[in-house]
Amino acid sequence: MPFFDLPPSQLETYRSSARAPEDFDSFWATTLGEVREVPLDPVFERIDVGLDVFETYDVTFSGFGGNRVRGWYIRPAGRSTDRCVVKFIGYGGGRDLPHQHLLWPSTGRAVLVMDTRGQGSSWSMGDTPDPVGSEPAHPGSMTRGILDPATYYYRRVYTDAVRAVEVARSRAEIDPDKVAIAGGSQGGGIALAVAGLDPRVHAAMPDVPFLCDFPRAVGLTARDPYGEIVRYLLTHRTKHEQAFRTLNYFDGVHFAARAKARALFSVALMDDVCPPSTVYGAYNAYAGPKSIESYSFNNHEGGGTLQEQRHVKWLAQQG
């Protein structure tokens, strides 16, 4: 894949053209206020999956609309820990199996992995349905309910994610002010949303984040998932303004502008799924202390395991 986006010197100063709706903050305050009227009701069921040096729990909690969301909670066995990382999954994937989430417990921290509702059949397994219907949509998740912010799919997902952080804080052993968040691609976009919605987040690690700078992303790349929106609008020719009005309530650029947690981003300069300018659109808007790792010759895999190694060292420095 060749370089196709702005040159590095322009990426470093690029600013998105997206402007938050006037009622952006009130929309999200109302959304979170409504879900908090429903008891969180976290349930942790200890299970034996043969990982003897870890304690593994099957987790359920009440997310958007009171719908039950699944997850994993994994912590080191036989030692105390008051730190937790909440992990969000990439597009199309689910929580899958516990042994795939052992990085953070191996460092002495707990990890809470949130299943993404309605996903988990593309490259990893999921167990959480999305029982909320929508108007006609293109196959995939990107256009479910896209004609109204109140019905858009990611309203439910972002709300679930805020609740997942609250679930981590509900654990007696966890310091509620030492909960970090992490994710790649869609998981990175979700992490940005949570960082902007929850001022108590300790640290954020969004890798090659998706769901950022919709005005530039849609049409710049021919790849899915942004391509789902293009194909939807190809058919729904008169819905362009309505769809982009909805997307503007879910743009990572706006959440980044409201985030205060320390953040470590990553970007790949040959990424044709989440173009580098869209990542920089969110990074340059980010209001908290921040740094970014850039991978010049990588596509959407970004920094891979090298970036994970940098996560471990960086988060240890944050306390």
Burial of 156 (0-12, 13-18, 19+ CB in 10 A): buried
Rounded Cα distance, 191 and 194, in Å: 5
Helix axes 186-197, 153-170, angle to 10 degrees: 70
User: Can 294 be counted among the known catalytic residues?
Assistant: no
Q: Which of 138, 254, 300, 311 is catalytic?
A: 300
Q: Which of 207, 271, 277, 311 is catalytic?
A: 271
Q: Tokens 């690690």 map to which residue? A: 205
Q: How many residues does the chain have?
A: 319
Q: DSSP string of 41-98? A: --EEEEE--S-TTEEEEEEEEE-GGG-EEEEEEEEETTS----EEEEEPPTT-----G
Largest CA distance in the chain: 60
Q: Which of 141, 185, 266, 277 is catalytic?
A: 185
Residue 271 near residue 302, CB atoms below 8 Å: yes
User: Can 185 be counted among the known catalytic residues?
Assistant: yes
Q: 170 by DSSP, 3-state: which?
A: helix
Rounded Cα distance, 143 and 286, in Å: 26
HSE toward the beta carbon, residue 305, CA cutoff 13 A = 1
User: Can 271 be counted among the known catalytic residues?
Assistant: yes
Residues designated as active site: 185, 271, 300
